[in-house]
Structures are given as C-alpha cells and as structure tokens.
Amino acid sequence: MSNLTILKTSIRQSDNLYSLNDLHIASGNDPKHRPTYFVKNQQTQDLVNEIERCENSHIAIKVVKGGRNPELQGTWVCEELVLSYAMWISPKFHLIVLRAFLAMQRNQPQQLSLPEPEKKYTFEFTEYDLQQLVWAWFALLRGMELCQVLHPALKQIGSHYAASVYSMAYEYRSTLRHAHNVLTRITAQFECEQGNNWRVLKYLRAYDPKSTGFQLDIL
C-alpha cells in the first residue's frame, strides 16, 4: 500500500482506513478541528450511513480507545471520510488532500504544501517620495482618460495610432485600481492641501474604481 503524506505528516493506515488524528495534525492541529467534533457532526453521520449502506460496503469509521498498541488508538476512517474531513476543515486543505490521493493512486507520491504566504517588504519613503508616487498615479489616470477621448477620432480618420491609443486607454485599468488601493493606504495620514504637492490627494480620494466614466474634469 502506498504511503500518504500530507504537509510533511505521514498518515498512518490500518485495515484500509486512514488515521484522522494524523490528518488533524497535518491540518495545523487546531482544537476546533478535532476528529471527535467531525464525527459527531450530523452530516458526517449521514455520510457514514450512506457509505455503509451501499453494495460492497466497507467499514467507514473505526474508533479505537485503549489497547496494548498506542499506534492503533484514535479515529480511523475510509477515503471518502478523509476527503470529507479535509473539506470540513477548509477548501484549501481539501484540495491538498485530494491532490495527494490522486498522486498516490498514480504511484507518484509527492509532498504537497500550503502556498507560501505572500512576501511583504518594508521600505522608507520621504514625504516627497510619497507625493511623487501619487502624482505618477495621477499622470497614468489622466493619460488613460485623454486616450479615451482621442481614440474615437483617431479611429474615425483611420490613424495607425488608434490601436495604441486604445490600448493605453483601457488595458491598464486593473493596474490603476491596484495602485489606487496601495496609495490610499500609505497616504491615509496626510491631509489634502491645495497649497502644496498633496493637492493631488483630491483626485486619489475621489477616484471610484467601480466607475466606468471619466474621473477627471480637467481634460
């Protein structure tokens, strides 16, 4: 029988059943995800009944308490309940367990792991640096909206610039929205003042990422 390993945790097997206690450890050992809670769940009980009622049915679950061999103690379940338990914990963990089973069935044991958390970086900016970043965002917004105005006319006269202008007008919307979110977060402490470079905050804070119309009234 092929070995099943989830997130560097080897899952013990006995009589074609898998250790739910080992799965619990692999998932992070959160107390709220203890196998006993899963087993008591009414949906789990219904699933057990369906499994054991089918033709060629097999034992769906076995709970071993005490005994001479501590390795056999715990909650042991069939493959269907392993997958159900994984989904009960989270869709992410369910996907990891499902892929591990598929790899095992192809006789290609592999170590699957949770995605690495996105790296975060810390930088130091002067106030002037932050102002210039917002002005760069504003320049992109203004350029995009200007291209939206120019494109119909360029297309009408058959200009070979029409395609490039259209690309500039519409293809960077997601970039603009994401930059807006970041800049809004890192400039929240500053006040919009008309007498200095922070006057650009007027446009940053008035920007509506859900709007499909023009955002500026200065073209």
At residue 1, the pLDDT reads 46
The CA-based diameter of the chain, rounded to the nearest angstrom, is 89
Are 198 and 123 in contact, with CB atoms under 8 Å apart?
no
Are 154 and 165 in contact, with CB atoms under 8 Å apart?
yes
At residue 69, the pLDDT reads 73
At residue 82, the pLDDT reads 93
CA quadruple 47, 48, 49, 54: dihedral, nearest 10: 90
Are 19 and 74 in contact, with CB atoms under 8 Å apart?
yes
d(C-alpha 192, C-alpha 124), whole Å: 21
The series of mean pLDDT values per 10 residues for the chain, 219 residues long, is 77 89 92 90 88 73 79 88 93 91 71 64 92 95 92 91 88 86 93 90 88 70
Q: What is the pTM of this model?
A: 0.49
At residue 77, the pLDDT reads 92
